[in-house]
Homo-oligomer: A and B are copies of this chain.
Amino acid sequence: MQPPFHGLTEFVSLSAQDIEIVRGWLVTRRTLPRARMLRREGDPITGVFFLLEGWVCASLMLRNGRRQIVKVYLPGDLLGFPSLALPAAGETLEAVTNISVCTISAPAIGKLLQHQPRLAAGLFLSTQKERVALMQKLSWVGAASAMERLAALLLDLLGRLDVAGLVRDGRFDLPLTQAQLGDLLGLTAVHVNRTLKRLDQLGYVVRGKGWIRIVDLPGLESLAPNLPPQFAGPVAWTRLGGGLASQSHEVDG
């Protein structure tokens, strides 16, 4: 299987050395079974992960006993970056399915940030993209009804899985339990169940065990409170592919 590098080359074109480094990550590849924790909140920070196959979710535990899943990671995603700013992990990373991941040590990231400006810029922009996605998720949970949240989530997953080549005829695997969907959207499992049933009855989706099919895409899109943002792509505002520009600290108002 071709490693899913689409996320890394989205914003910048990598140098030969960059590519060599990324390929180097692959030697750490290993598989983990469903429900295994890659890390728990509070664990010391060892590094980050590159997900090759399967689904992973990042979650926070709250003192009131509830948990919030803050992100579902799909093949090609980089995991664990937020905790780099912390002395101990701020998020639990749990395999939702059997997965295949690579490990990248924190010092390796440090060296990369110092010596591989292209790759570093790519990671930087990729991180900003994650922030945008997180902001949108916050807007779903904070300001949308259960139906709107579910519609937005399904569209988000559809788009991201499509990029990874994991959608056929609008149908994709959905390995999350309804309880996990609830933790993700700030709803109870019971309410997720009722809402999914309603989406089904209204003809938006068809459900099977472990999968779902989007039947009425325009309908779902009109239900969703916002659409997945368009990203800038490699021809961004900065000529990161260009030669060495002047180092003057150019500033304008």
Contacts and interface: CB of A to CB of B under 8 A. Distances in A.
Quickly give the copy total for this chain: 2
Interface in A32-48: 45, 47
Interface in A62-93: 62-64, 66-68, 70-71, 81-88, 90-91
A226 to B, nearest CB: 6
A38 to B, nearest CB: 12
Given A84-B128, A114-B245, A230-B86, A68 B250 contact: no
A138 B134 contact: yes
A211 interface: no
A131 interface: yes
B127 A87 contact: no
Contacts of A142: 68, 141, 185-186
A96 interface: no
B232 A28 contact: no
Given A113-B124, A113-B238, A144-B64, A135 B82 contact: yes
Interface in A1-50: 11, 17, 20-21, 24-25, 27-28, 30, 45, 47
* Size category, A interface: 35 or more
A50 to B, nearest CB: 10
A115 B20 contact: no
A120 interface: yes
A245 to B, nearest CB: 6
B110 A186 contact: no
A139 B68 contact: yes
Interface string A96-128: 000000011111111111110110110111111
A145 B252 CA distance: 44
